[in-house]
Structure 1
Amino acid sequence: MTGRLAIRRCSGALSLQDGGRTGYQRYGLSGSGAMDPLAMAAANALVGNPPGAAALELGLGGGRFVVEAGSAWLATAGAPCTVRIDGVPIAGHRTVSLPDGAELAIDPPREGTFVYLAVAGGFRAEPLLGSVSLHLRAGIGGAGGRLFQAGDGLDFVVSEGPAPGDRTIDAVALDRDAPIRVMLGPQADRFAKAGIDTLLGATFTVSHRADRMGYQLEGPAIAHGEAGYNIVSDATVAGSIQVPGHGRPIVLMADRQTTGGYPKIATVVSADLRRLAQRRPGEAVRFEAVDLARAREAALRRAHDLADLPTRLRPLGGIDVERLLGANLAGQAVDALRDST
């Protein structure tokens, strides 16, 4: 059985994303997928979907959605924003049952960039090369290779399992004041010491030219070494920090090109890519160099956070007995007789 979610209005970049494509970078196609996989996984966890199930990604925008032909359980997660059902505000990071004809409105985020909307049972779309994710520059996935617009709609599978019910999850922290961790290289030797010091010591801001392909940063120019800024094109990864001739770094993101001819001074560790992705134009970015051991530790911690999401769900408006039993309530106990004297 299927239902349909009609898009009545949208702004910003509205696309369908999932866990991304794998195995096609050697053919020149990057993986795409959610810019904040942990937030998408949180929305999916709320409605009982696998973490990489397809969800709507709203980038610096909002939308109005109406369920047609049935009812649905939906959930939002990611950047904080106002969510309303038929004009009545509700909390984010929670499930909501939307009956046939009701409208779910999501305002542009108050801070951060990406919000995710998941539906119980999952959106129904035809995978291309193993994913339904929109790769805009390649013209594949999503709404026929383009962003969604008003008047479009998505089919979803009506879940035959138990309804997820009213539940919520704590927002996933972004540590906005902490620096973005990087590992130097693979071409750090192509930069002057002053260039490395600038990367690690200066404060940059996200440019208005930031998008899903790359975040160009504004700030002091990073000095190249005597060999210059051209290299034989080689592979890139998500988080590669290229520095073209103008000296302003570009951090490559989900829809990046798979090879590049500018030297890469450093690579953002995988665990911090979502934190960078949630920075919006004009917001500050600082970098901190870490070694492989710390980068691996961060990756393992992020994997644990992802796997732990279902255990962090709790009833909405009710008492979470497991949390209550696990709390240290005795530490706040008082001696009533002593305190009354």
Structure 2
Amino acid sequence: MRELEVVRPGPLALVQDLGRPGWSAVGVGRSGAADRGAYQLANRLLANPEGAAAVEVTLGGFDVAARGGDVWVAVTGAPVELRVGRRVVDPYAAVCVREGERLRLGVPKAGLRSYVAVRGGVDVPPVLGSRSRDVLAAIGPAPLVVGDRLPVGRPPRTYPQVDAVPVPVHDGDVALRVVRGPRDDWVRDADGLVRDRWTVSPHSDRVGMRLEGPPMRPAVPGRQLPSEGAYRGAVQVPPGGEPVVFLADHPVTGGYPVVGVVVDADVDRAAQARPGQSLRFRWI
């Protein structure tokens, strides 16, 4: 059986797919890849079916060895220096890792999360219909550690229609489009969200991207909002006044006002924002 043996996991490496929709009523969110576009592209480069599990690597440093046979891989998301054995190979391309060779990811110069897909998918047991790790609910495969072996599924019968694509740019200011409301009247000046420049906090994670900047003050101090359903991309304002953008592992409900919602097409961009990076919002 073909496997990938984890030699070094880096700061954080998680198995992810498209998540587990349909469980919110029992308190389990969808989860799934934080940058869905990059994850899906990695599978497309290998002709994998939609939803095949891959590895989400945060800030690089991931190192695996092919065991039991050759393995085709593709790495997308935050661009990294990529080595197979002693040779440097291109990210955003289908690459063969021979049996016994090691695939090594460097640290990305820009962006936060890279995706390592394998032809056939990472075939770990699913939990509630998904192989995704939800860090908030602690459901799904545990974060990868040295010595873990990831089974590789049977390769698809189809062959890739593309072998390489352009590498995206993740540096510079992050610009996110946001829809106003539904609780923008719970802060004194909701337009401060788009007027001010924010900085991505080092306390950000897959649950939410925390922002640092001028606090947004409540319109009525002390007023309490009943818990409401939460949504990926929601911009919530906690008591401290600095917004949080909900990401893949957000809670299913929240009790702080949501002053805006990042459009779904831009949430992947938010998932690639690094701590210390500057960020701006724009109403649409």
- 1:170 aligned to 2:169? no
Q: Normalization by structure 2: what TM-score?
A: 0.95
CA distance in 1, matches of 2:182, 2:34: 23
Structure with bigger gyration radius = 1
Counterpart position of 2:229: 235
Q: CA deviation at 1:82?
A: 0.2
Cα distance in 1, alignment partners of residues 11 and 35 from structure 2: 16
Tell me which residue corresponds to 1:119: 118
Cα contact 1:205–1:219 (8 A) shared by 2:
yes
| 1:17 match | 16
What residue number does 2:76 align with? 77
User: What is the deviation of 1:175?
Assistant: 8.5
Which one-letter code corresponds to 1:250 in the other structure? V
CA distance, structure 2, for counterparts of residue 175 and residue 109 of structure 1: 11
| Equivalent residue number for residue 293 of structure 1 | none
Residue aligned with 2:190, SS: helix
CA contact (8 A) 1:96 1:166 kept: no
1:60 counterpart residue number: 59
- Do structure 1's residue 212 and structure 2's residue 211 form an aligned pair? no
Aligned counterpart, 2:267: 273
Asked if 1 retains the 8 angstrom alpha-carbon contact of 2:45 and 2:161, the reply is no
Matching residue within 138, 144, 147 for 1:151: 147
2:60–2:80 contact (8 Å) kept in structure 1: no
Cα 1:153/1:282, change in 2 over 3 Å: same
Aligned length: 284
Structure 1 gaps of 5+ residues are: 291-341
Measure, in 2, the Cα distance between the counterparts of 1:229 and 1:87.
61
SS in 2 for 1:285: strand
Q: Tell me which amino acid in the other structure corresponds to 1:169.
A: V
Q: 1:136 Cα deviation (Å)?
A: 2.1
Letter in 1 for 2:74: A
Q: How does 1:304-323 map to 2 (within 5 A)?
A: none
1:263 aligns with 2:257: yes
AA partner of residue 25 (structure 2): R
Distance 1:119 1:162 in 2: 14
Q: In structure 1, what residue type is equivalent to 2:228?
A: D
User: What code does the residue aligned with 1:26 have?
Assistant: A
Question: CA distance change for structure 1 residues 31 and 220 in 2, over 3 Å: closer, same or farther?
Answer: same
> Do the aligned partners of 2:55 and 2:116 also contact (CA within 8 Å) in 1?
yes
Q: CA deviation at 1:228?
A: 4.2
Q: How much has 1:176 moved relative to structure 2? A: 5.0
CA RMSD of aligned residues (A): 1.8
The answer as to whether partners of 2:187 and 2:219 remain within 8 angstroms in 1 is yes
Matched AA of 2:12: A
Give 5+ residue unaligned stretches, structure 2. Answer: none
Distance in 2 separating the partners of 1:101 and 1:156: 15
Which one-letter code corresponds to 1:189 in the other structure? D
Higher helix share: 1
- Whose relative contact order is higher, 1 or 2, with alpha carbons under 8 Å and at least 6 apart? 2
Secondary structure of the equivalent of 1:57? strand
Distance in 1, Cα, partners of 2:161 & 2:36: 23
Within 5 Å, which residues of 2 pair with 1:244-255? Answer: 244-255=238-249
2:201, 2:271 → 1: CA distance? 12
Identity of aligned residues (%): 36
- Distance in 2 (CA, whole Å) between partners of 1:229 and 1:155 is 52
Q: Distance in 2 between matches of 1:59 and 1:50?
A: 24
CA drift at 1:182: 0.6
Task: Kindly indicate whether the alpha-carbon contact (under 8 Å) linking 2:48 and 2:156 is maintained by their aligned counterparts in 1.
Answer: no
- In structure 2, the partner of 1:337 is none
Check the 8 A contact 1:217/1:248 in 2, yes or no.
Answer: yes
TM (norm. structure 1) is: 0.79
Shift of 1:181: 0.6
Q: Find the counterpart in structure 1 of residue 181 from structure 2.
A: 185
**Structure 2 residue identity aligned to 1:28:** G
Instruction: Provide the residue aligned with 1:28 in structure 2.
Output: 27
CA distance in 2, matches of 1:162, 1:33: 25
